[in-house]
Structure 1
């Protein structure tokens, strides 16, 4: 271009003022400070070849301020509301990362971002090309994190489903183009080389041989430059960061083979292995493409729940409906959801009746009838009738958003096997490079003319691609299968522990039973006072959130009481004390009746009852009423536990409940549970689990996630059953998104199967490398053989892992 246009964007230069920078060894003119700043940044980062090889002008940077604003825009607090979760001074977000090609990329990103001051956690999910990042907002900014990502060669931006899908499709198209080119050229070059090696044309002249070599070189060059570019970029990023990954030996092998073949063709002497280069790159791309497809398949099952969040809603204001953004809805708003539409946020039905499909949450295909007063969740599908819903939580705090957030957190704690694989792969690459160097030195000293080709065979054959894929592909497939069963894993490392569990403990109410209590037997000191006693019990229990308290709720209606109880005190895990009409009352468990308090130092004498009572009422130390309150067992629990016992005979089962021994024994007998432990306070449950662990037991605890929070936190594996609680604050490692336990046997099965698959992958990857290394070092293995073996090794690991998605528990 002539000097009258901007060197960067090719727009006309202004008459008044020009801006200059040194590019490609010359002083170039720019139209504005923005273009000048971009050019200087390109030069400073060693990317001047951009200007040498570009075919189109760059877009104009209208001002210098726009250069940093491209990233600093993400620091805006209002903009961050859409993709950043903040707790005090700690921020958390999920980024889509472009350019990730293998587990080593994830390791490199984690290592580099961890160097930024204020970074609390970086967890890269290679399978989904996402990164979960937590940082201190007073120490660093999101723009700094994004800038560091760009510095090491990766483009990161806040996760959005449409952009993430577009990013995947771009990578898919890139794979197809590179794979197609490599495949076509490989076939052509292999035909040429076959004719060359086997002299199929008969008495081939040296001129024809050289002609074939030049044609093969021309066909191989675009494969090396274009199809293999991703491997070189990955290797460069690793070396630039002061580390090595599995693409380093791949890059060295490709360059050495291509360079020696080029030299042999130019000098008209020596061997060429152009067909091996093309086949090497083609098979590598094929294995990466298969891995890419399998990761996307798993990602669609386990992590694409954002498609269930609608962008808009119909809000009711001033008696009319108006379209509104779903993320702008606030608690208290009223919305209309028509038949066939997704419910945008969590809320309560206030008008209408309809069938709601909750399969995306629970895995259950049967739609649930919702009537006024019922709770509905964002992301579920309204199937039949119009519903009017009062919003209870904003989109950011809805159940579906919490589930997505927990899925993103699941990669934060990687299993030991994954960490071991990362470390092993890194050390293995160094070992491969060292062995290859020693191999070349030995054969060169021995005067073997094949020293270079033997070295290349070592580099190719022992590349630890399969080792790096062994764990992440298996874990991604396992989590995908569990998500399809309505099971949410908050930490993938818990899959290692599940198989080792020796004791499975259940909370009774809401886990094994329906939680729909009723009075089965009752006793009153004075039968004539029954209505008054029940009214007093209902008025006192109104202050409790315990499931048993709901039984007395109906007796508060039309109460004969003249006033309400006062001085109400809740005794956690025991009962409630209160004053009414100048009398002191206590209602709760039999143990609470025998316990003394400051208001009433007497202990009632518990009479002999014809049934086992679990709730009693005392007035001024005298027992006046007793009830036996029981619950019905959930449908299907008996078959689930029978299946669990049959499949895993070595596991001990127990009930840890605050209910009476009679009720707990009744449930235990019906479900064939070995150890029914009753009348436990939350602290006593915690002590019992700690005692089991002290004896070397590995304990899995299943509860509702709120009342059992202490014991769930202590258990080796904690499972919260049902989705009605604040799932984001639950103490569980695993969440069953419905109230059924049908997924429990499959949880143990998939854990064992995952460990088995990982062991198989490790055995294959390590076994292959151990067996192939002596053959490569000794010169028995030709480069083309090494190419086929290494690529097939990676493909076998990926295919073996994806069996987890399709298996039936």
Structure 2
């Protein structure tokens, strides 16, 4: 063996060997030796059997010192996202070429103490890793990946741009060589075909000249433009597997070898230089189109990540000074001038400001934000200078959270795509068997037809279109959802959304704006109203529920101990040694062990909650909220799509009934705890219903996790986002029926793609085997089938002139026509 066992490069005289599974394998350098023995030493030697892409030769500069800087928490914070329990990062992995590479990185990282989850996607070249920061740091993770021979990069503007630029440049060069070569070879082939059609005999010297020139032109096309195809096939065979490029490469090598033999043999015979160059060109063109769609989809995420400016205007004792964004701290006051992007999340200090949130939500018009309201990083100030108090920076911003959710989605494949990949892999084995049977049959019937028919079968049966059918549709749909202000965090959610027949809404913060205000306070035990409001504000300060924000203006000095939030019921805490509760009447009554709770005020139009201590009920609070403008329209449009709506809320009966009447929802349920919500959804599913749940609070996380498809509001709690398959970033409910329509169209287009690919492959193989399809036509047909799948999928892409995510009224007739 004269090539390296690990990376496949020439040994160049190296005598080094690596001990792998009780045998010595030749390697080209000490780096490959170390990596191969590391892989074998960790019990992962199967990597070399299953890989279908060549491994990367370790770089000489992969030293520990290179990664030591990532151990600095402040430096690593630029790329990671940290919560109270875990830290996560998305890395761009250079040299990640196949699913076996993904498996290897996944398995090695999981053996690290502290690593909680790993997801590696060879298609996007990205890895998502979650770990316990107390046991591990980013430097350890990156160093481990580097020891395997791969080069990890944090997903930054520079690394992503460079990687995409190099990938595109390389693809364009190969496409150009294939295109020019195909055109030149076809010029000579047309002359030969024309002579044959006219029953004329071309002078042998001229015919041989055409063949030699075609050979000279086809050779760089074969071994440069077609190198990725041949290399992929070689790696598949080395790993004892059958990849997509194996039958294609066999056909190319057979056609090229036979053409070279017939060119110099002098005994005549067919040459296939035109088929070889045409096949490589169209296959390269199809892969270039796939790469472009993938980069376009990934570009949405990367564009969001590039939104933040590098300089901020901080207001200090000596006036306004320009400082790096990385030097900002929570509590700083910054000035954002007209036309500038907000560098951090914050609270508006000025009376009002108009903010363009199109990049995040798709909202076409600037949104008016008033004093005290939250503004987020990555949005654009379209007014004069405004002052903002910084509340979140870096990985803690809403923008960073959205980007991390999108990157998480890019590391997973939907179930339908995984099934298609599996079917395509099994199909390849049958293709080789079919080609062998075709060759044997024609050798017995007419040996002169055996070679051409075998070539045609190998080429025409390549299931490229089948393999890209679902990914192409999903990529286009993801881009369209992004334009509508909907973030897809779980690819499987799109398929589930298309089949939904029931949707369950939370009330506060979902159907309503979540901007609650205290409309009435009734004190019950001689405690003054200001005292009740102060106690309630202290208790609610730690809650993420929308109603907690209604008490924020009443928060004054004071300390609360033993603070505990009970999802769906309320909050408990100790103030000045006395234990208080605020929440549902039952929850508050349990504290004083009173089975007979007080009745709420009559004719309450909003949510009613109680405040009490261990001896008595202290006060009733009535909180009112306003309905979202598009809520009623969304419910009506969902009904026209044959989707029934329900409200499932922890609020009082009167408040829930009022919202249900305003939205036109018949079924509504009030005073439900998180467990009762979960039970309700599970009961619907037991009755055969496909249920979507949309909510925004911490108490919605369990029911979101149990739903067939879960949707979180963009301004909801982070835990709700983590449990959701889709995030309604724009908070615009009118986008919901559009998302259902798009999901149904995506599923329909994906099935069309799969059906077309299956019909093409299964229908063309018999024709090719019977000799009705020549090799050149097989090459054209296979390539065009992939292009047809890509073009069909682009119908899901948003129109360039369309501005989505603003409240949109879709005519009912159009909805019914689309779903017919």
Alpha-carbon distance between aligned partners in 2 of 1:89 and 1:602, rounded to the nearest angstrom: 38
User: 1:639-667 CA deviation, whole Å, 9 max, x = no partner?
Assistant: 11111111x22x22111112221221122
Give the whole-Å Cα distance in 2 for the aligned partners of 1:300 and 1:566.
47
Structure 1: distance between partners of 2:559 and 2:95: 67
Q: Could you list the per-position Cα deviations for residues 534-585 of structure 1 after superposition, in whole angstroms to 9, with x for gaps in the alignment?
A: 334323322234555666777889x9xxx99999997764567899999999
Q: Which residue pairs with 1:10 in the alignment?
A: none
Is 1:640 the counterpart of 2:640? The answer is: no
* Structure 1 residue 456: Cα displacement: 1.2
Q: Structure 1 pair 691/307, CA: closer, same or farther in 2 (3 Å)? A: same
Indicate conservation of the 8 Å contact 1:149/1:156, yes or no.
no
2-structure distance, mates of 1:339, 1:410 = 34
Secondary structure in structure 2 of the residue aligned to 1:390:
strand
Partners of 1:577 and 1:584 within 8 A in 2: yes
Residue-by-residue CA offset, 1:382-405 (whole Å, 9 max, x unaligned): 223223333322312221112111
- CA drift at 1:267: 0.6
Corresponding residue number in structure 2 for 1:60: none
* Cα displacement (A) at 1:284: 1.1
Aligned match for 2:173, one of 162, 170, 177: 177
CA contact (8 A) 1:345 1:391 kept: yes
Structure 1 residue ranges without an equivalent (≥5): 1-21, 28-37, 46-64
Shift of 1:320: 5.0
In structure 1, C-alpha distance between the alignment counterparts of 2:420 and 2:551, rounded to whole Å: 57
Contact kept? 1:701, 1:711, Cα under 8 Å: yes
Contact in 2 for aligned 1:584/1:600 (Cα 8 Å): no
Out of 508, 530, 534, the residue aligned to residue 539 of structure 1 is: 534
Q: Deviations over 1:692-750 (max 9, x none)?
A: 23333332111113232222222222211132533796432221113321211012112
Q: Does 1:711 align with 2:703?
A: yes
- Measured in 2, the distance between the counterparts of 1:575 and 1:727 equals 17
Secondary structure of the corresponding residue to residue 779 of structure 2 = helix
Q: In 1, distance between residues paired with 2:674 and 2:650?
A: 8
Conserved 8 A contact 2:704-2:724: yes
User: What SS does the corresponding residue of 2:645 show, helix, strand or coil?
Assistant: strand
Q: After superposition, where does 1:561-576 map in structure 2 within 5 Å?
A: 573-574=568-569
Structure 1 counterpart of 2:331: 332
Name the structure 1 match of 2:656.
664
Which of 723, 736, 745 does residue 737 from structure 2 map onto? 745
1:702 corresponding residue in structure 2: 694
Specify the SS of the correspondent of 2:121.
strand
Partner of 1:124: 121
Change (3 A) 1:112 1:781: farther
Name the CA shift for 1:556/1:116 in 2 (closer, same or farther; >3 Å): closer
Structure 1 residues 555 and 382: alpha-carbon distance in aligned structure 2, compared to 1, 3 A threshold: closer
Match of 2:204 in 1: 206
Aligned to 1:4: none
Cα pair 2:92 2:160 within 8 Å, conserved: yes
1:631 to 622, 625, 629: 625
Decide which moves more: 209-218 or 430-439: 430-439
- Assess if the C-alpha contact under 8 Å between 2:78 and 2:394 holds in 1: no
The 8 Å contact of residues 521 and 619 in structure 2, kept in 1 or not, is answered as yes
Is 1:228 equivalent to 2:234 in the alignment? no
Q: Which of the pair has more CA radius of gyration?
A: 1
Are 1:67 and 2:60 an aligned pair? yes
The 3-state SS of whatever aligns with 1:779 is coil
What is aligned with 1:83?
79
1:268 aligned onto 2:260: no
TM-score in terms of structure 2 length:
0.80
Aligned to 2:503, the other structure's residue is in SS state strand
Cα distance 1:331–1:90, how it changes in 2: closer, same or farther (>3 A)?
closer
Deviates more, 1:462-471 or 1:233-242: 233-242
Distance 1:750 1:75, change over 3 A: farther
The aligned runs of 1:174-573 (5 Å cut-off) are 174-199=170-195, 202-269=200-267, 270-316=269-315, 319=318, 321-350=320-349, 354-446=353-445, 448-517=447-516, 533-542=528-537, 543-544=539-540, 545=543, 547-548=546-547, 573=568
Residue aligned with 1:116, SS: helix
Cα deviation, residue 763, structure 1: 0.5
Q: What displacement does 1:631 show? A: 2.7
Note if 1:757 corresponds to 2:749. Answer: yes
- Separation in 2 of the partners of 1:185 and 1:709? 58
**Higher deviation after alignment, 69-78 or 446-455:** 69-78
**What SS does the corresponding residue of 1:164 show, helix, strand or coil?**
helix
Shift of 1:785: 1.0
Distance in structure 2 (CA, Å) of the matches to 1:472 and 1:616: 52
Change (3 A) 1:465 1:585: closer
CA separation in 1, counterparts of 2:64 and 2:551? 59
Moved more, 621-630 or 75-84: 621-630
* Cα separation, 2, equivalents of 1:219 and 1:453: 22
Contact 1:682 1:707 in 2 (8 A): yes
Contact 1:565 1:579 in 2 (8 A): yes
Instruction: Kindly state the Cα deviation for residue 85 of structure 1 after the two structures are TM-superposed.
Output: 5.1
1:224 aligns to what SS in structure 2? helix
SS at 2:343's partner residue?
coil
Match of 2:670 among 657, 665, 678: 678
Change (3 A) 1:580 1:487: closer
Question: Displacement of 1:419 after TM fit?
Answer: 0.8
C-alpha contact 2:14 2:29 (8 A) present in aligned 1: no
Mapped partners of 2:570, 2:128: distance in 1: 44
The residue aligned with 2:39 is none
Query: CA contact under 8 A between 1:518 and 1:630: conserved in structure 2?
Result: yes
Compared with structure 1, are the counterparts of its residues 478 and 705 closer, same or farther at alpha carbon in structure 2 (3 Å cutoff)?
A: farther
The CA deviation at 1:671 is 1.3
Q: 1:314 to 1:442 in 2, by over 3 A?
A: same
Cα distance in structure 1, aligned partners of 2:235 and 2:562: 68
Instruction: Answer with 396-405 or 602-611: which moved more.
Output: 602-611
User: What does residue 758 of structure 2 align with?
Assistant: 766
Q: Calculate the TM-score normalised by the size of structure 1.
A: 0.81
CA contact (8 A) 1:644 1:745 kept: yes
Q: Provide the alpha-carbon RMSD of the alignment.
A: 3.9
| Counterpart-to-counterpart distance in 2, 1:524 and 1:321 | 47
Q: Which residue of 2 aligns with 1:796?
A: 788
1:166 aligns with 2:162: yes
Assess if the C-alpha contact under 8 Å between 1:327 and 1:396 holds in 2.
no
3-state SS of 2:698 partner = coil
Between Structure 1 and Structure 2, how many residues are aligned? 738
Q: Please list, as runs of the form range in 1=range in 2, the aligned pairs for 1:779-790 lying within 5 A after superposition.
A: 779-790=771-782
